[in-house]
Structures are given as C-alpha cells and as structure tokens.
Amino acid sequence: MSVDERAVAEPQLAPDVLVVAPAPAVIALPGARTLANAGATVMTVAAAAGFSAISLFRYVHFGANGFDLGIQDQTVWGYSRLEVIANTVLGVPNLLGDHFNPILMVLAPFYWLWPSAATLLVAQAVLLAVAGIPIYLWAVQRIGHVAGLAFLGSYLLFWGVLAGVVFDFHHVVFAVPAISTALYATLNKRAAARCRDACGRGRAVSALDVPVARQRTSKRRAPGAREPPS
C-alpha cells in the first residue's frame, strides 16, 4: 500500500480535536466516617467479648459469690418459669420486696436458651460495652472521628467500667447504657428522646395557650374594632 493509499485508509483527525483516553477504574475508598464507625463497632464487640471472658473466667474458677450473682440468678431463674419464687440467699419470700428491680424480667427469655448464672455475666458485659456507643456518637459530632474513637476507648478502659466487670452481676448495670443514652439525647436536645408523659404535658400546655393568647389579643384591641372571625 502506497503512502497516499494509507493516508486515505487511516482516519484523519482535525488539529483542534482532543482525544481523551478512558480513565482507569478507580476503587473508591471508604470515608473517614465509615472507617470510624467500623472501628467503633469492632471496639465495642471486642470489649463485650473481653468483658464476658473475664467474668466467665472468674465464674468457672469459683470466683463468683452469692452476693450478688446468686441472688439475681435465683430470681431470674424463677422469672424464666413465669414464677416469683422465694430467694433463699437473702431469705426473703420475694426479691421485689427487698430490691424493686422488675428490669430483671427482661433477662428471663435468655434463660430459656442458657439457664445459667453465666447468662447474667454475659448480659452485664454486653450492657457495659454498648453503653460506650452514645459516648462515641457525641464525641464524633463535637470533636471528630479520631477523637470519638479515643473517647470510646477511654470509656471501655475506664477503671469504673472494669470494676463492674470483675464484680458479680448487679441489676444496676442496666442504668449504664440508659444514662449514656439519656446524656447523649439531652446534650443534642433531641425532642424525640423525651418521655411520653412530658410530650403529653407539652401538647396540653400548647392547647391552653391558644385561648389564652386569643383572650389577651381581644383585651388589647381598640374599642369599637370588630373581632376577627375564629
């Protein structure tokens, strides 16, 4: 093929035409928020597993006591059979008469799967671990993802939390995630986290404000002015 024939066969581009090669495929890396949330999840799960291992190690090696693990275990065992039994550790006919803690009934279904005092120890470990999630969320909103992970780690390694891990189960552990969640909601001024009773009172006050405001408006209206239709 001659030079002229090759020039006719090959496509000719104008000088002002810019040919752009296709860009190579780019793998999108997860953002800082995704990585931080994944790290917080791993830390929480690892803490729950670690707390459970410590508590179960003490329990298996006869480090547990009747106060308070035996007291709570006997009561929850009765709840799992839909009974309110006498507590032989305290010597009372009903534990609710000594400590009013109906929150323990929440743990009764787990005794259907694992009727052991170890169930309470694992539940305590999980409750202590998940209580750090609201702390992490609050710190992320205020001072960033890295600081949020640092706050979560400082909570999980706090001596007060670890002291609860090495102590036998107590129903007060339910207050830990409840308090952290309440503080998170309060600091963020989340109206949805308010109790139903408070919301009901607010609606009642708002309903009373309408006639009161209307009455004040009518009193301030100039004499002879017609009242607007309601």
pLDDT tens, per residue, the chain with 230 residues? 555 555 555 555 555 555 555 545 444 446 888 899 999 999 999 999 999 999 999 999 999 888 889 999 999 999 999 999 998 988 888 888 888 889 999 999 999 999 999 999 999 999 999 999 999 999 998 889 999 999 999 999 999 999 999 988 999 999 999 999 999 998 887 545 454 555 555 444 333 343 444 444 444 454 555 555 54
Q: What's the pTM value of the predicted model, to 2 decimals? A: 0.69
139, 126 Cβ separation under 8 angstroms: no
Is the distance from CB of 87 to CB of 75 less than 8 angstroms?
yes
C-alpha atoms less than 13 angstroms from C-alpha of 9 in its C-beta half-sphere: 6
Asked if residues 19 and 13 have their Cβ atoms less than 8 Å apart, the reply is: yes
Could you tell me which residues come within 8 angstroms of residue 171 by beta carbon, excluding any fewer than 6 positions away? 72, 99, 101, 103, 104
Residue of 165, 168, 174 whose CA lies nearest to 53: 165
Spatial contact of 132 and 44, defined as CB atoms under 8 Å apart? yes
Q: Following DSSP, what letter does each residue of 68-131 receive, concatenated? A: IIIHHHHHHHHHHTT----BTTTTBS-GGGTS--GGGGGGHHHHHH--SHHHHHHHHHHHHHHT
In DSSP notation, 148-185 reads HHHHHHHHHT-HHHHHHHSSPP-GGGGHHHHHHHHHHH
Question: At residue 70, what are phi and psi to the nearest 5 degrees?
Answer: -65, -35
